[in-house]
Amino acid sequence: MEIDPRRLRILHEVARRGGVMKAAEALHLTPSAVSQQLAQLEREVGLALLDRSQRRISLTPAGRVLSAYGERIEEQLSEARDELNRFTERLSGPVTIAAFPTVIRHLLVPALRVLAERHPRIVPVIHEVYGSDALQELRLGAVDLVVTERDMSTPAPSLPSMTRHRLYDDEYRIVAPPTLDRIPADVGELADLPWVAGVPFQACGAALERLSQLHGFEPRRTHIISEFPPVLSLVAAGHGVAIVPSLALLDFPRGEVVVTGIHGVGSRRIEALTRVSRTRSGEPDPVQAVVIEVLREAAEELTERVAVLSASLEAH
């Protein structure tokens, strides 16, 4: 049985208006067109939907059932129109984004150029806030969207009031000073070397902890640094080896550090977090949605750049 939902709408209007003439006027159709559509609907369902035995046309029991479905369809279409109108109207105004430096430089800056071209009425506001502070800002409504990182070997923490949006998986690389007598070729050669280690609660800190546990050594954490430029500077100056994400290598001059050939260290996931939407669709706010879209496009463009750079820096 094929039922044309447009005919259900006509049936519902006949029931609501109390007759074909008034329904035709409301729908901007001729009475003849309304009658033809109703007759076709009766043929589709194989049942009489209008009781034509009385002077005033009324619906049969089957007609009332279908009319109720027509009313639901009309309500859903009205909601869809309202959401689309809100989407169009809300593609303007400020959107506050919390992020950390590497992402600001390599994802947000390129994404904001595209955002300005497509949606010039959206005004992005960037806050350099990350970790638990950024999540608190999001909960309180001080920011609209948080770009965050997490080591992919650990389960994603439960954040019931937030929605995750995957942006980019950033592979870890182990970097070493070019002055080392022998550039490490496997994890076993790292055990006795000093480390420029990441902060424990950040992704690279978690990666070093996981790597050392997996291979049974205790890393000698000579320095503990949270930002990647000073990490790479210390490595370049010969103060140790380090785990850094591939994106961090885009900021550093070639030849200053050596990217070892050690793979399988894992990766961090960069994702956007938004507050759980109250809309029926569950989708993020329209402005947030277009920001996430341009961030994903910027992430796709990064993939090839990172692959080329890593290959050129890797020790052979």
pTM of the model: 0.66
The phi, psi pair for 105, rounded to 5°, reads: -70, -45
Using CA of residue 228, residue 232, residue 234, residue 235, what is the dihedral sign?
positive
Query: Is 126 a residue whose pLDDT tops 60?
Result: yes
- Superfamily of structural domain 90-166+269-306: Periplasmic binding protein-like II (3.40.190.10)
Q: Which helix (H) or strand (E) holds 172?
A: strand 162-176
- Superfamily of structural domain 169-268: Periplasmic binding protein-like II (3.40.190.10)
Q: Which helix (H) or strand (E) holds 13?
A: helix 5-17
Query: Is 27 a residue whose pLDDT tops 60?
Result: yes
Per-residue pLDDT at 19: 84
pLDDT in tens, 235-280: 999 999 999 999 998 877 777 898 898 988 899 999 999 988 655 4
Per-residue pLDDT at 241: 96
Query: Is 310 a residue whose pLDDT tops 80?
Result: no
Residue 313 pLDDT class (50, 70, 90 cuts) = low
Residue 213 pLDDT class (50, 70, 90 cuts) = very high
Dmax over Cα atoms in the chain, in whole Å?
A: 103
For the chain, the structural domain boundaries read 5-86, 90-166+269-306, 169-268
Chain mean pLDDT for the chain: 86
Per-residue pLDDT at 291: 93
pLDDT in tens, 77-125: 777 766 665 655 567 888 999 999 989 999 999 999 999 998 898 999 9
**Which CATH topology does 5-86 take?**
Arc Repressor Mutant, subunit A (1.10.10)
Query: Do 5-86 and 90-166+269-306 have matching folds?
Result: no
Per-residue pLDDT at 316: 45
